[in-house]
Structure 1
Amino acid sequence: MTANVITLDNLQEKLAPWNPKAKSQLFAIVDMGSNGIRFSITSLAKPTTRLLLPVYASRAGISLFDVLKQNKNIFPDATINEVVETLLRFKQISIEYGVPDDQFMALATQAMRSADNASAMLTAIDQRTKGINMNILDPKVETLFGAVMGSRSGLVDVNDGALFMDLGGGSVQMTWMQTGKKGYEIESAKVGFSLPYGAVEVMDILTQDSKKKRVEELAVLDGKMLEKYSELVNQVPALKKIKDAYEDGDKNSTVNVYMCGGGFRGYGSMLMHNDKTDPYPIASTNAYTAPGKLFKDVNEMRKVNEDYKGRIFGMSKRRREQFPAIATIVQTFINAVPNIGNVTFSGGSNRQGALMMKLPVEVRESNPLDVLATVFPEERSIFDAVSGLLKDALPSGVDFSKTPTVFTAGLEGLFVRDIWGRGGYDDDTNTAFALNNAVLRDPEAPGLTHLGRALLALTGSARWGGNFGPIDAELFKGLTGVVESQSDDSPIWAGYLGAIANVIAAVLPAFPKSAQEVKKAISITSHIKAAEDKKNKVVIKIGVVSNDNTKGINLDELVDLIEGVAKKSKGKNPSFKISAEINLLS
């Protein structure tokens, strides 16, 4: 049977666009990778289309690449039967969920591209499944669906540009992506490259008997990675500028990296296990960010994999066995790209990437955090007014581009939404809820990074006073560590904004009915008062309207709440003090 290959040239023809008026908005995709076969059902229903909400997921541990290695690049009949039965099972599950036949898609990658008898597998699938059409991805399309749009599906944007990589069992892809420009996704796929060195392939190199052959083949891998990266640099002016500056002595000229695929996620799990925030407070590699220094400590990661006998979260027995190969590929990447900045791991895959490419540009480029916050048009001016008050509390003399807050993370909508939530519960209960909910809410939601969740947790819990029980105190400590990894003062600013939100909610006990109500009720000014031999001081002045809502408020308690943020820090000592003043407006 002739293979049905999806290329960049025929992509629009092969990939049917999303129909928002279709009766069912459930889409099922099988990703027949070299290291396993994954299946998922996703909802593209409005208004949460951009979130790619997961409905069902499963995995069959069939390593096609292992089979090919053991059978001289041939799929034996037993494997073909196993694959067909797996596809039939996935198809039946999709029927149970009500997925239409024309919204069921099957994708295949490196193993199917390279097998000598791939046609036998395709014929068996076609004849015995009666309707499952297997699509083989051209390497450029695999880069598009995986490294580019698979990772992109979990992000708000990447306007400054970054390297994107995907590691599966049979191949590794790399490209550069910078969002914002029309057609950036296709351009990223075109300039990217794919090398047939996945985790399974490299493991075979490492386990062969001849040391000479191992050294020679690993040298070939090193050479190809460096060659292909150099070609990529020469095609991308922004990347070349970063590389040239680094080689000219600017050690701050680093490139950020986003990684997806099971192999790289395994490395991310090992990094989380060795993170200086221990125990690490968020149980997912998806959206975890590691600094370049930790990422490049490959030898330490190898040692831990060899010596640590317990379970490492996120790593299966097979992934632990393949870790030497994963570490080898990572080291090869580091050899080619020494100026690595932050590395963020993504749960995205070919499945999410294919769905993203079905969506119209205006949907896939929309901000997923806005979708999560569900700010309705009639509420927008109110949200803006409350956000404006919180921003007024941040003194202009501080460079918040290097000090993350809920604003720099784009989370103001989610935070403002929660200020007036759960008002009927006591403060300590709400403190615990805000802390834990930020970690557990909306699993795998696009745009919600580990840093973002930690910022929401610290800011949200401070809104309710920030008094924790023993168990939550440990979680707070861990989340503070995540935020402190970016800036020592960030946890203090999170607590400060939470305290300001507490004041706003005291003055406006119910969600405001209009932006004008917000502006009339409260005003805030702030500035930095410099001190030569002591800590600088944040001076904040708050004016609140005198009415029935505010007459019974103890303003001194609110002042103590704000000033106490810098006094009772549970993390590192802040670099500043806070002086607050709250007065009734005449």
Structure 2
Amino acid sequence: MDVSSSACLTAVVDIGSNGIRFTITDLSSSCARLLPVVYSDRASVSLYDAQFSSEDPSRRQPLSQEVQKTVIRHFLRFKRVCSNYGIDNENVRVVATEAVRIAPNSNEFCSGIEAATGWLVRCLTPSQEAYYGATGVASCAAETSGIVIDMGGGSCQISWINCIKGEIDMNEDVYISLPYGAAALTRRLEEVSAGGIEAKQALEAEVAAALSGAYTRLRTSASFVPEKVTAYVCGGGLRGWGYFLMSLDQEYPISLIDGLEVSLEKFEKGDMDCEAEAKSRDIFGLSKRRRKHLNAIAFLVRILSRQFHGTVEKVRFCQVGIREGLLFDGLSPAQRAENPLIVATTPYATKSSPGIAQILFSALPQSTNPRWRVPKVFDKSMATAVANLMYLYIGMVKQYRARTALYSTTEGPLAHARGLSHQQRAVLALVLCERWDGDLLPADKVFMRHLERLVGPEATWWSRYLGRIAKLVGTVCPDGVLENKDGIFPEQPIFTISDVAILPDEVVDDVQLVRLQLEVNHRGDAFDEDSDKAIKKIEAMGKYSNYAPVVEKDQKKKREIKLRFGMRVTVLKMQVPEQDLVLQSKIPEN
């Protein structure tokens, strides 16, 4: 550990209902947007369960001396870690949530920690807990707008957030905290089980009424959008639900919960027989404690789904907590506005990456036809990320490059990067794999097919196309330097791509086919036999065998129709005077 950088380190202790999280985060300006964790530990101490005894489960008990000693022992160990990292007390933040807030001896518990460590314990109010949960969610994507649902152990927070260009827009009047955390709701369900179906229905009516009231309050927010919104879900309870949903698809290729996106229909689909399913097999990411809560989580999910039907379009899972909310809230608007995908890949960029990104993005047509429109994931940040990572594996043995690139976003350098959706990870991996010719072992091809299934046929085809454009750039500029013979960069690069358009092609069986045409403009000495081969590979994307398979369901005949997505590709190679090769020096921001 380089103690000279300790001034940029911040320690956060999050005392939750089901455990205590100890983390150290590097807030150096170059990477602060990602809130990178350099140390993480967790004490499996359930302060919620510790307040109830088996003899009298309906009555809340004070936190015992034994529990307090256990907690302090974990705190003192973390204090030694902070000392080893060179972190002063003023850079340590300790916060407590629901379980501590409502404990009968809350003051005694907090005072004991303060006396042992010298660290002040800040007990968050319900609205503060909801606020930091929402700001934590804002750190999980380049921009966020939607409903935030944070299900911890003791409570469930609901709020609305907009974070556009780094500006957080939240209405403090709609930070709603409800006593329906995973552990709390499990206990309530156990209590009503003796009362039969009527008692359970009464509890369901109670929770539904509370959620309906919360939703009504959300509508009062000035920034509320009435339809087609995203629900961002976090907290241990709903993260566990996300892992359970992933387990239902045995071929799902990404194990990270952060960035998982599902439809509202799929979000509630797991409610069927979830308890029996969880007991029958091991589920990655689902602890024994969380399995006990799964029935209660499904209970809440079922009610949430009914409440948000017709409003919520998709659900995004976020690996965040109070730590992320505290730290993200403390960043400047300029830092919050940074795109996570760009920040995560910038350390691997070459000096010509901005110019290369411009070439890559210029190769994507801007069609207004929804059938042929390039998927939204292929934005300027994706082009920048590809440009930044294009040369990362240039020093590897040739046979390893495609495979390493394929796994780079899930097991490699980006595995720990925050704020990336699963679709972004999959598309970036597919593009980079194709950039290195896509030469894979059979087992790796299986993983690639799973990524392709995740992103869909259109994104699969465009990923391979963009990967072959990147291959052309890498062939012409093998060292990642995009400049002319006099070293002028980047006003006069080696080559550019222009006049990219989707044009009408022939008509087959009364179906109008289309053709993607692009011009590659280059100076006289830039292209050779290898670059010509790279261009032919781009044009080969127009072969039917390279089209991405599409399976559509014929509802009338109740059968599947197998189609393919793709289009013909024509590359016009144009030799132009060197002074006519002009490239923007920096790709525009999203």
Alpha-carbon spacing, 1:117–1:497, altered in 2? closer, same or farther (3 Å): same
The answer to whether structure 1 residue 527 and structure 2 residue 502 are counterparts is yes
The answer for the alignment partner of 2:461 in structure 1 is 492
Alpha-carbon spacing, 1:51–1:164, altered in 2? closer, same or farther (3 Å): same
**5 Å matches for 1:239-258?**
239=225, 241-242=226-227, 254-258=228-232
**5 Å matches for 1:90-169?**
90-127=78-115, 129-146=116-133, 148-158=134-144, 161-169=145-153
The answer to whether structure 1 residue 507 and structure 2 residue 476 are counterparts is yes
Of 270, 282, 305, the residue aligned with 1:311 is 282
Kept after mapping to 2: 8 A contact 1:140/1:189: yes
The answer to whether structure 1 residue 42 and structure 2 residue 25 are counterparts is yes
Structure 2: how far apart are the matches of 1:83 and 1:425? 47
The answer for the alignment partner of 1:8 in structure 2 is none
Gaps of 5+ in 1: 1-20, 243-253
Paired amino acid for 1:537: V
Kept after mapping to 2: 8 A contact 1:151/1:258: yes
Kept after mapping to 2: 8 A contact 1:41/1:56: yes
**5 Å matches for 1:97-496?**
97-127=85-115, 129-146=116-133, 148-158=134-144, 161-180=145-164, 184-185=168-169, 187-208=170-191, 209-211=194-196, 212-236=198-222, 238-239=224-225, 241-242=226-227, 254-275=228-249, 278-300=250-272, 302=274, 305-306=277-278, 309-339=280-310, 340-374=312-346, 379=351, 383-384=354-355, 386-394=357-365, 396-399=367-370, 403-404=374-375, 406-408=377-379, 410-425=381-396, 427-440=398-411, 441-484=413-456, 488-496=457-465
Partner of 1:210, secondary structure, is helix
Alpha-carbon spacing, 1:285–1:23, altered in 2? closer, same or farther (3 Å): closer
Alpha-carbon spacing, 1:119–1:264, altered in 2? closer, same or farther (3 Å): same
Larger displacement relative to structure 2 (344-353 or 22-31): 22-31
Q: Residue deviations 1:208-261, cap 9 Å, x none?
A: 22234433233211111111111211334633x32xxxxxxxxxxx32111111
Partner of 1:279, secondary structure, is coil
Structure 1: how far apart are the matches of 2:505 and 2:529? 35
Structure 2: how far apart are the matches of 1:526 and 1:516? 24
Alpha-carbon spacing, 1:120–1:525, altered in 2? closer, same or farther (3 Å): closer
What RMSD, in angstroms, separates the aligned Cα atoms of the two structures?
2.8
The answer to whether structure 1 residue 585 and structure 2 residue 575 are counterparts is yes
Partner of 1:141, secondary structure, is helix
Kept after mapping to 1: 8 A contact 2:6/2:87: no
Structure 2: how far apart are the matches of 1:183 and 1:507? 41
Report deviation, 1:164: 1.0
Kept after mapping to 1: 8 A contact 2:535/2:571: no
Structure 1: how far apart are the matches of 2:476 and 2:239? 46
Partner of 2:381, secondary structure, is coil
Alpha-carbon spacing, 1:41–1:432, altered in 2? closer, same or farther (3 Å): same
Alpha-carbon spacing, 1:556–1:409, altered in 2? closer, same or farther (3 Å): closer
Report deviation, 1:558: 2.8
Alpha-carbon spacing, 1:67–1:237, altered in 2? closer, same or farther (3 Å): same
Paired amino acid for 2:152: G
Q: Residue deviations 1:459-495, cap 9 Å, x none?
A: 11111222321111011011111101xxx31100111
Kept after mapping to 1: 8 A contact 2:363/2:469: no
Larger displacement relative to structure 2 (331-340 or 398-407): 398-407
The answer for the alignment partner of 1:250 in structure 2 is none
Partner of 2:14, secondary structure, is strand
Partner of 1:343, secondary structure, is strand
Alpha-carbon spacing, 1:437–1:562, altered in 2? closer, same or farther (3 Å): farther
Paired amino acid for 1:528: L
Q: Residue deviations 1:4-59, cap 9 Å, x none?
A: xxxxxxxxxxxxxxxxx985211111111111111111111231121111111111
Structure 1: how far apart are the matches of 2:471 and 2:62? 66
Structure 2: how far apart are the matches of 1:470 and 1:377? 31
Alpha-carbon spacing, 1:446–1:399, altered in 2? closer, same or farther (3 Å): farther
Report deviation, 1:399: 4.1
Kept after mapping to 1: 8 A contact 2:94/2:120: yes
The answer for the alignment partner of 1:56 in structure 2 is 39
Alpha-carbon spacing, 1:560–1:217, altered in 2? closer, same or farther (3 Å): closer
Paired amino acid for 2:12: I
Report deviation, 1:313: 1.1
Name the count of aligned residue pairs. Answer: 542
The answer for the alignment partner of 1:75 in structure 2 is 63
Partner of 1:235, secondary structure, is coil
The answer to whether structure 1 residue 568 and structure 2 residue 546 are counterparts is yes
The answer for the alignment partner of 1:540 in structure 2 is 517
Partner of 2:410, secondary structure, is helix
Gaps of 5+ in 2: 54-58, 484-488, 551-562, 577-590
Larger displacement relative to structure 2 (573-582 or 202-211): 573-582
Kept after mapping to 2: 8 A contact 1:162/1:177: yes
Structure 1: how far apart are the matches of 2:181 and 2:242? 16
Kept after mapping to 2: 8 A contact 1:536/1:575: no
Kept after mapping to 2: 8 A contact 1:496/1:562: no
Structure 2: how far apart are the matches of 1:521 and 1:365? 30
Report deviation, 1:298: 4.0
The answer for the alignment partner of 1:246 in structure 2 is none
Kept after mapping to 2: 8 A contact 1:495/1:565: no
Structure 2: how far apart are the matches of 1:280 and 1:182? 32
**5 Å matches for 1:9-24?**
24=7
The answer for the alignment partner of 2:587 in structure 1 is none
Paired amino acid for 2:36: L
Partner of 1:40, secondary structure, is strand
Structure 1: how far apart are the matches of 2:41 and 2:348? 35
Larger displacement relative to structure 2 (218-227 or 439-448): 439-448
Identity of paired residues, percent?
A: 26
